[in-house]
């Protein structure tokens, strides 16, 4: 019976078998012992054995053929079934059953899961009946009537150098082959070519029992033998033994290289916590994977290629849990360890793989470097099992299909040595289980045959002699007949038949096939081993597993054994409720740091009828930031989806500029300063306004810039792309790209404004004129060009000059005039020369204004002179020459050339009088007077008219004398003395001149002077 059927809760199914003939209906244990020495000769063709009996059924039908006796029993929903079987020998033979009551069976509820006994379409692997569940399903999900092997099942695992098998009756582990590192778990390291029992953990001679799953591994690249063995136990714990290089997962320091008997698998480096709920185990030479009943994966071993799926390359010598999140928050249904890669079948029927990918064994559509992240195999959505080879992988799919990828020889599509990184369907249906060796693959088909492909050089394809080097496409293996299960090792393949035989071909280099002959790497002849039911492991008298029918001849000597199976013709409804629409992940944005409240309302139907759905967490719950699985139940259907609360990236306000900016600066180049014109803004539900945290970068060179402040970036003319970035308090970033366009539509300005230039001609040709106009744009200088250029020779007259500054054009006139030019006027005063009609002077002969121009030459004769004060025209020479008075007189000289251009010259004529008057003493220079009659001693003398004076030809009427004239002041002179008298004349300018004469008073004649 399949393990799945055994684990299901027993229901009221009672199949009573009756045997006719001399034998009794049931046989006591003592009777069974008499059959212990049947040996292998009784394990003959079932069809031949069927010809020796007649069988009749009550409550069902019976047939006998290649599969032995098959009892078919009808079943309806929730109804227990009862049937009886009578087997009668014929032609002198008798038939005896070894069991009176068959085991109670119910169907599995693991739809499409081969490990629970329902793989393949209408296969013979499960039973439908009972009260808790109604039927089993095939890989296509349909309700089928299926046959179950009534006898317990043996399980086996084969590596390149040793193999181990679980005995169905008690879960004992039996191994053979290489034992250098304690691979056989027997204590000593002596190799074995026959099955030996693995010891229990601890000490003593108690053997290990209760094993439910077995896996062995070995490093095929190792020159010396190596490898490990691991088993899941019925207690849910796991044990390993063999070479301690990491994959044992027992947390024993690697300095202890050999673990010779099982030790418990640990889930921490300290070795304090045992693995629990072990459901399945898979091993390669590098890696051991454990699957728990909760769908969690644990991994141990070498990890140079990230094959443990832990996201690292660190070796782990304990069973480290693979984060459920790395598998997309999906439970695992099955696992498989390849040489340097690992794969898992997940609850959504997808396959995810991790590790080395040099041959495309990860199924990602391309070969490449090792991958540390689990990722779905492309195109596989209906898998029910997965198996890894050395560098290839295969998946058993619903409907019995098989797809493979990786190393071409093991893919089965004639790819040869090429890499096949994308899954290829190699079997369109009919497969019910799958096993993969290093480079070959075998599938157990629904008709009991075995189909293989890949490397066959060691005889592992069961093709017979001579061994083909390979089968590039699937072919039926003629040596594997009547298989109940298939087990591919590194270079070997074994089947276990319903009668408990293990039949192997391929490499037996280390005796791993439990045969001492031949010890060879190539074996094309099947090596048979009957797995002992109990008792000693030596010898060949093995009891066969029940139930079976013993056919004996007339002498009561056993002739053959008939395998007995039961098939239930199930007519039950196996359609589970369906979520409609299908459950899908919900993605929402956090509304606060606490996450978000999320509402959902999944619905389900069963045959169109609504089914109540309950979910945990319930709709309306507060979900934290991150991914939270939600499990919903609708009747017997369970589904999951994830509520993913993400921290939404901060949102930028829609204020990015859409119109160009006008250039507003010319420093250091023409461009625009956006300070005050544009400021990016961002916010989110967590932090609110994040504008102050925005950083801005130039996209072209990732240079950070500032849009405001003293360091504000000047955007050049044209388009500049910037990137605004902001990160909220939870580390979620957002960015926006903005294109800043700067245009310059403001023309340059001439500063100062262009002005006309008037210059006098310097010659008849005109004049050379220089100028330097300037212009600015946005405060900066702009180059100016002019035509004619500065420094050109301009003809007399007006010439237009055009200047250009960028897009701005301006003009001004250069006018070259032929203007008369005056010679400088007098700078020194003129001396007064006349007093008629007043003291002054005529400048005739002293000053004559002079003027000329480049065109007319000397224009002096045309000069006219005017008094500025009265605008009276005067003449500076000739008979009418103007007499300039003392002081300053301003005159204006004017002259007009032949062009009618008049020039003026203002001249100040300064007249001064520095000429002294002329004093004349008339008469004698001495005045003699006679003293008056005595006794007078003084005499008054009058001389007021003695001196005369003129100034510039005009008499000066006022003359002063010293001493004064007697007539003036009554001056008296002493008698007998001579007195000098000085006469002084002063003109209008204050110039003075003097003259002298003497006065002598004499006594009258005859006086003596008294």
Place 219 in a pLDDT band, splitting at 50, 70 and 90.
low
pLDDT at residue 881, as a whole number: 92
Rounded Cα distance, 177 and 198, in Å: 13
Place 588 in a pLDDT band, splitting at 50, 70 and 90.
very high
Rounded Cα distance, 612 and 383, in Å: 29
Task: Using the predicted structure, report yes or no on whether residue 544 has a pLDDT greater than 70.
Answer: no
Q: Tell me the average pLDDT of the chain.
A: 81
* Angle at alpha carbon of residue 574, lines to 571 and 578, rounded to 5°: 155
pLDDT at residue 218, as a whole number: 76
pLDDT at residue 72, as a whole number: 72
Which comes out higher in pLDDT, residue 304 or 140?
304
Rounded Cα distance, 996 and 1010, in Å: 29
Q: Tell me, what DSSP letter sits at residue 829? A: P
How much of the chain, in percent, has pLDDT values that exceed 70?
82
As given in the structure block, the two tokens for residue 766 are 């005109």
Of 427, 430, 411, which is closest to residue 419 (Cα–Cα)?
411
What are 225-274's pLDDT values in tens digits? 568 999 999 999 999 999 998 899 999 999 998 999 999 999 999 999 99
pLDDT at residue 697, as a whole number: 96
- Side-chain-side CA neighbours of 517 within 13 Å: the count stands at 0
pLDDT at residue 925, as a whole number: 75
Of 269, 408, 409, 285, which is closest to residue 338 (Cα–Cα)?
285
Helices of type H across 346-418 = 408-411
Name the CATH topology of 918-1002: Immunoglobulin-like (2.60.40)
What are 405-415's pLDDT values in tens digits? 999 999 999 98
Question: How far, rounded to the nearest angstrom, does the alpha carbon of residue 410 sit from its chain's CA centroid?
Answer: 38
Task: Using the predicted structure, report yes or no on whether residue 130 has a pLDDT greater than 60.
Answer: no
Q: Tell me, what DSSP letter sits at residue 272? A: -
Domain boundaries, the chain: 3-151+546-570, 152-255+273-299, 323-429, 435-525, 578-646, 651-743, 749-817, 821-912, 918-1002
pLDDT at residue 141, as a whole number: 32
Q: Which of 112-121, 418-427, 945-954 has the lowest mean pLDDT?
A: 112-121
Query: Which of 3.30.390, 3.30.70, 2.60.40, 3.10.20 would CATH assign to domain 821-912?
Result: 2.60.40
Contact of 161 with 221, CB cutoff 8 Å:
no
Rounded Cα distance, 178 and 507, in Å: 13
Rounded Cα distance, 646 and 640, in Å: 19
Whether the domain at 651-743 and the domain at 821-912 fall into the same CATH topology:
yes
Q: How many angstroms separate the Cα of 674 from the Cα of each of 69, 693, 741, 781? A: 93, 18, 11, 21
Going through 285-361 in order, the beta strands assigned E by DSSP cover 287-292, 297-301, 316-321, 332-337, 341-346, 351-357
Q: Kindly give, in sequence order, each residue whose CB lies less than 8 Å from that of residue 692, ignoring residues fewer than 6 positions away.
A: none
Contact of 982 with 918, CB cutoff 8 Å:
no
What are 299-334's pLDDT values in tens digits? 999 999 999 999 999 999 999 999 999 999 999 999
Question: How far, rounded to the nearest angstrom, does the alpha carbon of residue 63 sit from its chain's CA centroid?
Answer: 67
Which comes out higher in pLDDT, residue 64 or 935?
64
pLDDT at residue 527, as a whole number: 85
What are 792-840's pLDDT values in tens digits? 999 988 999 999 998 899 999 999 988 888 999 999 999 988 888 888 8
pLDDT at residue 924, as a whole number: 81
Task: Using the predicted structure, report yes or no on whether residue 685 has a pLDDT greater than 70.
Answer: yes
What is the 3-class SS of 656-677, one letter each residue?
A: CCCCCEECCECCCCCEEECCCC
Of 435, 374, 372, 447, which is closest to residue 404 (Cα–Cα)?
435
**Residues 874, 876, 880, 886, CA torsion sign:** positive
Place of tokens 């069991």: 99
Contact of 329 with 316, CB cutoff 8 Å:
no
What are 442-477's pLDDT values in tens digits? 998 877 789 999 999 999 999 998 888 999 999 999
3-state secondary structure (DSSP) of residue 41: helix
Rounded Cα distance, 416 and 406, in Å: 11
Task: Using the predicted structure, report yes or no on whether residue 975 has a pLDDT greater than 90.
Answer: no
3-state secondary structure (DSSP) of residue 638: strand
Task: Using the predicted structure, report yes or no on whether residue 182 has a pLDDT greater than 60.
Answer: yes
pLDDT at residue 943, as a whole number: 85
**Interval 636-655 mean pLDDT:** 90
Place of tokens 């196996």: 574
pLDDT at residue 127, as a whole number: 31
Task: Using the predicted structure, report yes or no on whether residue 561 has a pLDDT greater than 70.
Answer: yes
Output phi, psi for 49, to 5 deg. Answer: -65, -35
* Angle at alpha carbon of residue 909, lines to 904 and 912, rounded to 5°: 175
Strand partners, 723: 697, 737
pLDDT at residue 266, as a whole number: 97
pLDDT at residue 409, as a whole number: 93
Q: Kindly give, in sequence order, each residue whose CB lies less than 8 Å from that of residue 522, ignoring residues fewer than 6 positions away.
A: 457, 458, 459, 467, 506, 507
Output phi, psi for 30, to 5 deg. Answer: -65, -40
As given in the structure block, the two tokens for residue 323 are 């984060």
pLDDT at residue 533, as a whole number: 53
Rounded Cα distance, 856 and 719, in Å: 64
Of 425, 349, 435, 343, which is closest to residue 384 (Cα–Cα)?
349
Q: Which of 83-87, 497-501, 924-928 has the lowest mean pLDDT?
A: 497-501
Task: Using the predicted structure, report yes or no on whether residue 790 has a pLDDT greater than 90.
Answer: yes
Which comes out higher in pLDDT, residue 869 or 399?
869
Rounded Cα distance, 187 and 521, in Å: 26
As given in the structure block, the two tokens for residue 28 are 């006591």
- Side-chain-side CA neighbours of 849 within 13 Å: the count stands at 28
Rounded Cα distance, 623 and 988, in Å: 124
As given in the structure block, the two tokens for residue 143 are 């309700």
Place 498 in a pLDDT band, splitting at 50, 70 and 90.
low
**Interval 276-300 mean pLDDT:** 93
Of 1006, 999, 998, 1004, which is closest to residue 937 (Cα–Cα)?
1004
Q: How many angstroms separate the Cα of 259 from the Cα of each of 119, 297, 490? A: 37, 24, 22
Rounded Cα distance, 460 and 88, in Å: 40
As given in the structure block, the two tokens for residue 196 are 């030996």
456: alpha, beta or left, given left = phi > 0 and alpha = psi -120 to 50?
Answer: alpha
**Interval 114-136 mean pLDDT:** 28
Domain 749-817 has CATH 2.60.40: yes
Which comes out higher in pLDDT, residue 106 or 630?
630
Task: Quickly count helices (H) and strands (E) in the chain.
Answer: 5, 86
As given in the structure block, the two tokens for residue 817 are 């005039």
CATH number of 651-743: 2.60.40
pLDDT at residue 775, as a whole number: 93
How much of the chain, in percent, has pLDDT values that exceed 90?
46
Question: How far, rounded to the nearest angstrom, does the alpha carbon of residue 427 sit from its chain's CA centroid?
Answer: 42
């Amino acid at each position: 019976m399949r393990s799945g059927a055994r684990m299901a809760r027993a229901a009221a199914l009672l199949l009573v078998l009756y045997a006719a003939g001399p034998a009794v209906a049931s046989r006591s244990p003592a009777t069974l012992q008499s059959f212990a020495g049947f040996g292998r000769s009784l394990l003959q063709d079932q069809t031949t054995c069927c010809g020796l009996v007649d069988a009749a059924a009550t409550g069902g039908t019976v047939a006998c053929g290649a599969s032995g006796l098959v009892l078919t029993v009808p079943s309806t929903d929730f109804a227990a079934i009862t049937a009886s079987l009578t087997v009668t020998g014929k032609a002198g033979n008798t038939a005896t059953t070894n069991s009176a009551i068959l085991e109670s069976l119910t169907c599995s509820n693991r739809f499409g899961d081969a490990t629970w006994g329902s793989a393949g379409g209408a296969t013979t692997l499960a039973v439908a009946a009972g009260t808790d569940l109604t039927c089993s399903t095939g890989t296509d999900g349909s309700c089928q009537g299926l046959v179950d092997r009534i006898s317990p099942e043996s399980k086996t695992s084969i590596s390149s150098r040793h193999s181990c098998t679980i005995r169905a009756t008690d879960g004992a582990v039996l191994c053979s082959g290489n034992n250098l590192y304690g691979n056989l778990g027997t204590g000593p390291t002596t190799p074995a070519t026959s099955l030996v029992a693995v010891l229990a953990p601890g000490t003593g001679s108690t053997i290990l029992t209760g094993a439910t799953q077995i896996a062995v591994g070995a490093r095929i690249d190792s020159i010396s033998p190596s490898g490990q063995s691991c088993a899941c136990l019925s207690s849910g714990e796991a044990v390993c033994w063999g070479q301690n290089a990491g994959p044992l997962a027992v947390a024993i320091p690697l300095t202890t290289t050999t673990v010779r008997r099982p030790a418990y698998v640990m889930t921490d480096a300290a070795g304090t916590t045992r693995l629990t709920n072990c459901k399945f185990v898979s091993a390669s030479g590098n890696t051991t994977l454990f699957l728990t009943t909760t769908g969690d994966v644990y991994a141990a071993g070498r990890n140079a290629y990230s094959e443990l799926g832990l996201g690292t390359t660190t070796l782990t010598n304990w069973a480290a849990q693979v984060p459920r999140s790395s598998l997309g928050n999906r439970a695992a249904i099955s696992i498989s360890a390849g040489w340097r890669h690992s794969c898992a079948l997940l609850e959504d029927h997808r396959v995810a793989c991790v590790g080395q990918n040099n041959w495309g064994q990860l199924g990602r559509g391309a070969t490449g470097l090792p991958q540390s992240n689990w990722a779905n195999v492309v195109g596989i959505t209906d898998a029910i099992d997965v198996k890894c080879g050395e560098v290839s992988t295969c998946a058993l799919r619903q409907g019995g299909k098989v797809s493979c990828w990786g190393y071409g020889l093991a893919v089965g599509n004639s790819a040869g040595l090429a890499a096949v990184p994308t899954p290829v369907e190699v079997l369109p249906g009919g497969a019910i289980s799958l096993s993969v060796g290093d480079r070959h693959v075998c599938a157990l088909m629904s008709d009991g045959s075995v189909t293989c492909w890949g490397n066959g050089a060691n005889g592992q394809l069961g093709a017979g002699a001579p061994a083909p080097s390979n089968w590039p496409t699937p072919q039926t293996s003629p040596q594997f007949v009547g298989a109940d299960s298939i087990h591919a090792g590194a270079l070997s393949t074994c089947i276990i038949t319903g009668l408990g035989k293990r039949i192997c071909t391929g490499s037996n280099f280390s005796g791993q096939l439990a045969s001492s002959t031949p010890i060879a790497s190539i074996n094309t002849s099947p090596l048979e081993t009957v797995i002992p039911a109990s008792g000693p492991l030596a010898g060949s008298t093995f009891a066969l597993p029940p139930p079976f029918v013993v056919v004996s001849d007339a002498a009561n000597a056993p002739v053959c054994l008939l395998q007995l199976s039961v098939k239930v013709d199930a007519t039950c409804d196996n359609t589970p409720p369906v979520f409609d629409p299908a459950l899908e992940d919900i993605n929402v944005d956090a509304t606060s740091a606490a996450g978000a409240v999320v509402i959902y309302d999944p619905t389900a139907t069963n045959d169109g009828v609504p089914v109540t759905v309950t979910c945990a967490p319930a709709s309306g719950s507060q979900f934290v930031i991150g991914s939270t699985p939600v499990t919903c139940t609708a009747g017997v259907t369970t589904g999951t989806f994830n509520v993913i609360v993400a921290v939404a990236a901060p949102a930028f306000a829609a204020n990015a500029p859409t119109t160009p900016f006008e250039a507003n600066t010319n420093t250091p180049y023409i461009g625009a300063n956006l300070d005050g014109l544009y400021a990016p803004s961002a916010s989110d539900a967590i932090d609110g306004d994040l504008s102050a945290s925005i950083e801005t970068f130039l996209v072209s060179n990732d240079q950070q810039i500032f849009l405001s402040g003293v360091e504000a970036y000047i955007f050049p003319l044209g388009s500049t792309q910037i990137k605004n970035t902001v990160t909220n308090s939870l580390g979620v970033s957002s960015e926006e790209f903005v294109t800043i366009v700067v245009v310059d539509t403001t023309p340059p300005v001439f500063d100062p404004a262009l002005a006309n230039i008037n210059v006098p001609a310097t010659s008849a040709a005109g004049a050379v004129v220089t100028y330097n106009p300037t212009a600015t744009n946005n405060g900066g200088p702009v180059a100016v060009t002019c035509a004619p250029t500065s420094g050109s020779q301009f003809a007399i007259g007006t010439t237009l000059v055009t200047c250009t500054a960028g897009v701005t054009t301006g003009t001004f006139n250069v006018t070259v005039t032929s203007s008369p030019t005056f010679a400088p006027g007098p700078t020194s005063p003129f001396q007064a020369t006349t007093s008629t009609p007043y003291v002054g002077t005529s400048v005739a002969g002293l000053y004559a204004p002079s003027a000329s121009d480049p065109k007319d030459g000397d224009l002096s004769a045309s000069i006219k002179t005017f008094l500025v004060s009265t605008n009276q025209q005067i003449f500076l020479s000739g008979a009418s020459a103007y007499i300039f008075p003392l002081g300053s007189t301003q005159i204006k000289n004017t002259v007009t050339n032949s062009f009618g251009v008049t020039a003026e010259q203002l001249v100040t004529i300064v007249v001064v009088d520095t000429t002294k008057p002329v004093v004349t003493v008339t008469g004698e220079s001495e005045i003699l007077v006679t003293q008056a009659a005595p006794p007078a001693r003084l005499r008054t003398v009058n001389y007021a008219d003695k001196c005369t004076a003129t100034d510039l030809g005009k008499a000066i009427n006022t003359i002063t004398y010293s001493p004064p004239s007697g007539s003036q002041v009554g001056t008296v002179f002493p008698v007998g003395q001579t007195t000098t008298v000085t006469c002084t004349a002063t003109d209008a300018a204050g110039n003075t001149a003097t003259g002298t004469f003497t006065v002598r008073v004499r006594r009258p004649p005859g006086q003596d002077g008294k």
